[in-house]
């Protein structure tokens, strides 16, 4: 077997995983549990993994930074996974090599792309320059500083706008309203006809009530034309309007920018990498993708008629987490020359955070809202935190703080 054999993976070369989020880190952890696993390298520019579904609780101080953002060196210590703190800038699929921003050229036997998504500005003027986003630890710090400023200045008619009433926008608007305690009006601006259009009906109803209880002003059917330093230009059925704002938080839409790959792989219309049901990139037998960047379109989603009719799985941590397990198995099958298994998404339900100490969830025909749902959501995510040692550390911290 030679390294440039077009069909067979080089079993001496490492599996390289690009991106240490839900898709990438959990693939590395699943592979590391195999007794004789191949050499593994994770390339990720950030120092800490970020458990994004609990970012709201970091903003509201209900959870601590180390709990939802453990360091990669701690998570991977003693697991046989090397971590390179760097960013991949190009990939040569034929040569099975990649280049990093730090100037390293590295070879791989198989490559996993799990570079996730970014906030999408849709080219709307002022979004990049004047709005805040909510995806990183730095974003949390900026928002905490903003809340602090609005609370201490306490000027009349202070206003904060959250754009996008998908799960992120709704969850964020509820937390911000609780943190502001009336120091500013929170507006939630949505282009579509309703908040949470994709959510389960129970969660949507609970979210609507949670927004109403907090006086969050939900403006549906409202398109953002421009974001300014102190205003938002909107268009709705009643015409155009300029809204004075102290800040805008942009949560609408996702953009996908994997590192450039030669020869260029097929992408879907949103720019995501089209993958086979096995999570292999189409036409690239040694390249795989997981998480938000991987597109399983309806036509390629599974091998049976039932699978083909199923809608593609959503861009969620739940999907990325499940793909990681399936992908780890397929990487090893490919190395052994065995046929690969299709990924099948198992929908385990939906949970949303709705302000301090409140949540709503739907799982297995069971619905729950309020404080009990908040605690159950926390517990459910505890079992999804990366690695048993980190789960135990966090659980011990919660028990020590009980009731918190
Ligand atoms: C605020 C927020 C709340 C959310 N809440 C929920 C929720 O409650 N439930 C749910 O199921 N989903 C939720 N999601 C969605 C979920 O977090 C994503 O679907 C999930 O993180 C996708 O995993 P991923 O591995 O594809 O990407 P990510 O987890 O985003 O990880 C991508 C990683 O790739 C790295 N990277 C990017 N480019 C490169 C490069 N060129 N080289 C090397 N590394 C690179 C990034 O630094 C990042 O660490 C939420 C998302 C956000 C933003």
Q: Is the pLDDT of residue 307 over 60?
A: no
pLDDT at 403 over 70: no
Å from CA of 171 to ligand 1 middle = 17
Q: How far is the CA of 135 from the centre of ligand 1 (A)?
A: 8
pLDDT at 4: 46
86 vs 140: CA distance, rounded Å: 23
What local confidence, expressed as pLDDT, does residue 145 receive? 98
Any ligand 1 atom below 6 A from CB of 43: yes
pLDDT higher than threshold 70 for residue 270: yes
Strand bridging mode 118-119 / 294-295? unpaired
For the ranges 164-173, 204-213, 308-317, 393-402, the lowest mean pLDDT is seen at: 308-317
Query: Where do the structural domains in the chain lie, given as residue ranges?
Result: 15-45+86-117+256-335, 128-252, 350-401
Which of these, 257, 242, 211, 22, lies nearest to 119 by C-alpha position? 257
**Mean predicted confidence (pLDDT) in 267-294:** 96
Decide if pLDDT at 91 tops 60. yes
Identify which of 71, 116, 163 to mutate to test ligand 1's pocket (most ligand atoms within 8 A of the CB): 116
For 66-90, b/e burial (b = at least 16 CB within 10 A) is ebbbbebeebbeebebebbebbbee
Cα–Cα distance between 162 and 251 in angstroms, integer?
A: 7
pTM of the shown model: 0.94
Mean pLDDT computed over 269-287: 95
18 lines ligand 1 (CB under 6 A): yes
pLDDT at 10 over 90: no
Higher pLDDT, 318 or 11: 318
Q: How far apart are the first and last CA of the chain?
A: 58
- Pocket of ligand 1 contains residue 19 by CB under 6 Å: yes
Tens-digit pLDDT profile for residues 14-64: 999 999 999 999 999 999 999 889 999 999 999 999 999 999 999 999 999
| CATH of the structural domain 15-45+86-117+256-335, one choice from 3.90.1490.10, 1.10.10.10, 3.50.50.60, 3.90.1150.10 | 3.50.50.60
Continuous H helices in 18-156: 22-32, 55-59, 65-68, 72-76, 127-130, 137-153
pLDDT band per the 50, 70, 90 thresholds, residue 8 = low
Q: Which range (207-216, 297-306, 319-328) has the least confidence?
A: 297-306
Query: Quick one: which atom of ligand 1 is closest to the CA of 290?
Result: 26
pLDDT surpassing 90 at residue 271:
yes
Closest ligand 1 atom to residue 319 Cα is: 11
Residue to substitute in 21, 42, 63, 176 for testing ligand 1 pocket (most ligand atoms within 8 angstroms of CB) = 21
Mutate to test the pocket of ligand 1, among 104, 270, 317, 322 (most ligand atoms within 8 A of CB): 317
CB of residue 259 inside a 6 A radius of ligand 1: yes
Residue 298 is given by DSSP the state: G
Q: What is the pLDDT of residues 98-109, one digit of tens each?
A: 999 999 999 999
114-139: average pLDDT: 96
The residue whose C-alpha atom lies closest to atom 15 belonging to ligand 1 is 316
Of 11-20, 127-136, 285-294, the poorest mean pLDDT is in: 11-20
Q: Look up residue 75 and give its two tokens.
A: 């998570």
Residue 334 has pLDDT above 50, yes or no: yes
* 125 CB neighbour count, 10 Å cutoff: 14
Q: How confident is the model at residue 364 (pLDDT cuts 50, 70, 90)?
A: confident
Q: Tens digit of pLDDT for each residue in 144-156? A: 999 999 999 989 9
- Strands 231-236 and 105-107, sheet pairing: unpaired
Question: Average per-residue pLDDT in the chain?
Answer: 93
201-230 tens-digit pLDDT: 999 999 999 999 999 999 999 999 999 999
301: Cβ below 6 Å to ligand 1? no
Class of domain 128-252: alpha beta
pLDDT of the residue at 138: 97
Q: Given ligand 1 and candidates 17, 19, 133, 293, which is best to mutate, with the most ligand atoms within 8 Å of its CB?
A: 19
Q: Which of 65-79, 124-138, 198-212, 300-314 has the lowest mean pLDDT?
A: 300-314
User: Does 164 contact ligand 1 (Cβ within 6 A)?
Assistant: no
Task: Evaluate whether 15-45+86-117+256-335 and 128-252 have a shared fold.
Answer: yes
Shortest-distance atom of ligand 1 to CA 117: 30
* Mean pLDDT of the region 122-143: 97
- Ligand 1 lined by 367 (C-beta under 6 Å): no
For the CA of 321, the nearest atom of ligand 1: 23
- Residue 400's pLDDT band, with cuts at 50, 70 and 90, is confident
């Amino acid at each position: 077997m030679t390294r440039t054999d077009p069909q067979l993976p080089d079993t001496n070369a490492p599996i390289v995983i690009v991106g240490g989020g839900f898709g990438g880190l959990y693939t590395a952890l699943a592979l590391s549990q195999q007794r004789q696993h191949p050499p593994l390298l994770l390339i990720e520019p950030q120092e800490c993994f970020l458990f994004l579904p609990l970012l709201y609780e970091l903003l509201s101080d209900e959870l601590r930074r180390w709990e939802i953002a453990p360091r990669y060196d701690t998570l991977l210590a003693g697991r046989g996974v090397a971590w390179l703190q760097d960013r991949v800038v190009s990939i040569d699929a034929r040569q099975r090599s990649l280049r990093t921003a730090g100037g390293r050229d590295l070879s791989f036997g198989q490559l996993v792309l799990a570079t996730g998504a970014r906030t999408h500005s849709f080219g709307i003027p002022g979004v990049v320059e004047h709005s805040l986003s909510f995806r990183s630890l730095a974003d949390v710090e900026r928002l905490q500083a903003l809340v602090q400023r609005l609370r201490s200045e306490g000027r009349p008619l202070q206003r904060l706008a959250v754009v996008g009433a998908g799960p992120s926008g709704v969850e964020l608007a509820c937390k911000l309203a609780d943190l502001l305690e009336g120091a500013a009006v929170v507006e939630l601006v949505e282009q579509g006809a309703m908040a949470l259009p994709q959510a389960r009906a129970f969660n949507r109803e609970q979210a609507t009530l949670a927004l109403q209880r907090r006086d969050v002003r939900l403006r549906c059917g409202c398109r953002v034309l421009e974001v300014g330093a102190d205003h938002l230009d909107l268009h709705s059925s009643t015409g155009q309007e300029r809204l004075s704002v102290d800040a805008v938080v942009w949560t609408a839409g996702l953009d996908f920018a994997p590192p450039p790959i030669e020869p260029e792989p097929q992408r879907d219309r949103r720019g995501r990498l089209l993958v086979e049901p096995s999570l292999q990139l189409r036409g690239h037998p040694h390249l795989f993708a997981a998480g938000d960047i991987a597109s399983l379109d309806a036509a390629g989603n599974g091998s049976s008629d039932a699978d083909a009719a199923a809608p593609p799985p959503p861009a969620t941590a739940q999907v990325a987490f499940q793909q990681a397990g399936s992908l780890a198995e397929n990487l090893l099958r490919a190395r052994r020359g065995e046929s690969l298994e299709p990924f099948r998404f198992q929908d385990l339900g939906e949970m949303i955070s709705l302000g301090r100490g409140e949540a709503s969830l739907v799982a297995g025909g069971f619905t729950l809202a309020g404080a009990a749902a908040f605690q159950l959501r926390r517990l459910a995510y505890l079992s999804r935190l990366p690695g048993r040692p980190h789960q135990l550390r966090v659980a011990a911290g919660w028990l020590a703080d009980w009731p918190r």
